[in-house]
Structure 1
Amino acid sequence: MASENPAAALKDFIVGLRHVGHIVEDLQASIADFRRIYGLTDEDITVLPPFGQEAPARFGLLNVGGVEFELIEPISDDMKATLNAVTSGAGGINHVAYVVNDIDAAMAVLAKQGIRPGHVTPDGVVDTGRTRIAYLNPADTSSLLIELVEVYG
């Protein structure tokens, strides 16, 4: 159904975030990382098709705080070529940011799990004057750059 309002924009139709897609080399390892990072349980994870079934790609659908991550493991050479052909140039998903209510406590929990700060905040939490932020080291998070933000003031 077309909009009658010529000033309508895409934002007028968006209801919410559906998922964040992330291509991974090893779905089982990435799911293990997500379990460790976020404390996910079996109820938070769906794998399609299930491990053991042949498919050109396997998808892990993970519920993280009400946001779905779609982890995509290309298996066949054709699927790898297809996914590699769809480039975002220098763009693409740069990071996923979460608002947290206690960044120091969150970083302490992550440190116990071997997840280090990294990227532009390798020394830990940075105070920007309105927020306190920390990025997590992508080497510890299945190559996904994650930002934590505590808003104050």
Structure 2
Amino acid sequence: MRNIAATIQDYFLGLQHIGYVVDDLETSLAEFAQIYGVDLTSVRLEPEAGVDSPSRFAFFSVAGTEFELIEACDPDLKALIETYPSGAGGINHTAWRVRELDKVMSLLADKGIVPGHVTPAGPVTFGNKTLVYLDPKTTGGHLIELIEIAE
């Protein structure tokens, strides 16, 4: 008889993005443009130019996969990022799009996997996205972000 209990994979919809930590956003964007042919006019920057923020982000797609470049502008945030194995640069985290984030978190909690990193209190909502980072201490050192997008 097939086990009909829900598994984590039943709630995964696909890869949302791959996040890279970079020292300089403009330099890294130029490198990605040179390597992958990224059209810089299609890059989404957050926050928008002129907005003071502890970090800057650039989002773009390569062959249907979204990339997120992360430049920490605040010394405290930079120190936090650098505490993780990938903090000096390179792939920082993988973000998965999921459905029913609350159920996913319950299933993970049953396995001892809990929120952490920049969302230690649990999921947070920005616009139509609810996201949570999993504590790398409970995931074997992997920094994983889960995102549910309200349709």
Q: TM-score, normalised by structure 1?
A: 0.50
* 1:54 matches 2:52: yes
CA distance in 2, matches of 1:88, 1:40: 24
TM-fit CA distance, 1:79: 1.0
Determine whether 1:33 maps to 2:31.
yes
Q: Match for residue 15 of structure 1?
A: 13
Residue 24 of structure 1: aligned partner: 22
For the Cα contact (< 8 Å) 2:57–2:68, is it kept in 1? yes
Q: Which has the higher contact order (CA 8 A, sep 6+)?
A: 2
Contact 2:21 2:91 in 1 (8 A): no
SS of equivalent to 1:21:
strand
Q: CA RMSD in A?
A: 2.8
Structure 1: runs of 5+ lacking an equivalent: 95-153
1:2-151 matches, cutoff 5 A: 7-87=5-85, 93=91
Q: Structure 1 CA distance, aligned partners of 2:49 and 2:83?
A: 26
**Can you give the 5+ residue segments of structure 2 that lack an aligned partner in the other structure?**
93-151
What SS does structure 1 have at the residue aligned with 2:15? coil
SS at match of 2:57: strand
Q: CA deviation at 1:38?
A: 1.3
Task: Name the TM-score, length of structure 2 as normaliser.
Answer: 0.51
**Residue identity (%):** 43
> For 1:38 and 1:88, how far apart are their aligned partners in 2?
22
Shift of 1:40: 1.4
Note the C-alpha offset of 1:47.
0.9
Q: Which has the higher strand share?
A: 2
User: How far does residue 54 in structure 1 lie from its aligned partner after superposition?
Assistant: 2.2
Partners of 2:4 and 2:85 in 1: how far apart? 32
CA-to-aligned-CA distance 1:76-118 (integer Å, 9 cap, x gap): 10110121234469xx959xxxxxxxxxxxxxxxxxxxxxxxx
Q: Distance in 1 between matches of 2:46 and 2:63?
A: 21
Which structure's CA Rg is the greater one?
A: 1
Instruction: Count the aligned residue pairs.
Output: 89
CA–CA distance in structure 2, aligned partners of residues 66 and 44 of structure 1: 13
Q: What is the alpha-carbon distance in structure 2 between the residues aligned to residue 78 and residue 70 of structure 1?
A: 20
